[in-house]
Chain A
């Protein structure tokens, strides 16, 4: 439960927002529940109990950092503490970045789609907090049959200087029928204070559309990032997600796929490399609601120092979802004797003509392999690094974008190398 002091502060904010407004209502709901603690089943290993007593700057201002550039990007958008700006506009009139109200005016049919699809929210008070306090509601709109060959870059920044702060960001992405796009999101931070970064994304991928979404999560220590990504897929669409969790005090990724048409393909790739005093938690849901769809999930983790990792992978195959192929694999290496990994695959299958498989493993580096390498002259730290890199490469190699693949490799190599050197 929230502390009395924090509760009073947030009640005042709710008054200001208007108790009957959507935002005021959402905040009241949050106030009833507070931040999740380890008593909540879905937050068993990722308690935010301490947050219940931390007063924050609930509306931190955006930062006017100089614009970023990337010649490989078609469009560059930057959000700083949830305030969006455009650093590079696209010449393609098939993409628009606008706010929600503007978008609904231009595309009124979407409102019905949007209101009919609410995510299944299980023990998720942070979603309410986000709805209540996010200052903007931007939309990336990719129009019918538009193919964007270069990636869209989203620079997601949270900045805090003195006081602990809370950033509530939202983003809606609408990929229309037959369109094709890639979004690359670099999540970063500046400042030294404690930041709660709470980000909600709703992504609608229409019939026959293709969407690739890559997140590079690389925050400073002190940042707790909670990411909610809800993806709704229509008939014949394909979505590939890549979630690379590199640094932050705490990262919790809730990634939900709702398969709402036949012939859908969903590929979920994840790699987390938490080190000293870091916790990284992946909660994924793949909800097969329609037949003849396929989902492939590959998550890998290297846990260093006293890191904690959590993986919870839910797959639902509803009664209508016959001929579903659903695969899930989560493999982890404990690169330190002080690290912990908690895994829980959870399959619920109501249809009878399906192919589903899942497997989770958590282990240490193979001693035989290490001796073999040492017997050829490779030092123990180098042997460990080589094996760990080979382990993570399977996920990195799936990234098609050459610039991203290289920069991710470099950062991950550096992090693993540093940890291996420290432990020897």
Chain B
């Protein structure tokens, strides 16, 4: 599904990603871990198409297409979804209006007929159950005055509605208490299928108690320095990142 080869990316003069290689297949869950400043969020942003970063080397193929060639909205239409670490407040635009625009723009891209109000109502109702989100939240201006938990829950609700092939969750666990974390994780688990894949970017092992990864990768200084299974995450939880850092730095 996703094939990243030798990916280098910089912001300004500063090189942040220094040769990432990663293969993700349908049905898989990959966790990307690593200490602060290792480039985890940069990787998520580059995949979603944030223009602040310049890709200097390497390729990213997504379902046979050159992902780096596509505008952010085209990537979304091809099936990429980024759940933001800090969801942006959109004053004056309700979640429902926002999602109606998004769904119909994506359908237009794919050459499908727009959905009407009745179809939306039905779909929203169905997807609300995934994350146990309240109707009143959806009619409010998107993310404006939402608590940390509400913002993250709203991200997962958007993910449920847009039904992506590859979901990238950037530090979705940050700022969540244990109950909110469980609800968000349950949502993600319900959305998992043999046809889609998930990349979890996280600093702590905590989220992985709820969403069990097939693979765990450790990112350090812009490279994947260690890959393993979920046991690697547990080892990191116990020993921290220092042992990996010293291994690499030697």
Contacts and interface: CB of A to CB of B under 8 A. Distances in A.
Contact of B102 (A366, A368, A376, A380): A376
A380 B97 CA distance: 16
B248 interface: no
A378 B102 contact: yes
B90 A369 contact: yes
B87 interface: yes
A366 B143 CA distance: 15
A278 B24 CA distance: 53
A377 B73 contact: yes
A387 B144 CA distance: 14
B86 to A, nearest CB: 9
B101 A378 contact: yes
Given A372-B84, A378-B102, 11 more contacts: A366-B88, A369-B90, A371-B51, A375-B84, A376-B102, A377-B77, A378-B98, A378-B101, A380-B71, A387-B90, A390-B92
Contact of B92 (A372, A378, A379, A394): A394
A390 B101 CA distance: 13
Contacts, number: 75
A369 B144 CA distance: 12
A375 B76 contact: yes
B42 interface: no
Interface magnitude class on chain A = 20 to 34
B202 interface: no
A379 B141 CA distance: 20
Interface string A369-407: 101111111111010001101110110000000000000
B49 A372 contact: no
B51 to A, nearest CB: 7
Contacts of A378: 73, 98, 101-102, 105
Contacts of B73: 374-380
Interface string B135-168: 0000001000000000000000010001000000
Interface of A: 366, 368-369, 371-380, 382, 386-387, 389-391, 393-394
A393 B90 CA distance: 13
Contacts of B103: 377
9 contacts: A369-B89, A375-B75, A375-B76, A375-B81, A375-B82, A376-B81, A376-B162, A387-B92, A393-B92
B96 to A, nearest CB: 13
Given A371-B50, A382-B101, A382-B105, A376 B92 contact: no
A196 B81 CA distance: 54
A374 B93 contact: no
Given A378-B73, A379-B73, A373 B106 contact: no
A373 B98 contact: yes
B90 A377 contact: no
Contacts of A394: 92
B19 interface: no
A252 to B, nearest CB: 29
A390 B50 contact: no
A386 B93 contact: yes
Nearest to A372: B88
B58 interface: no
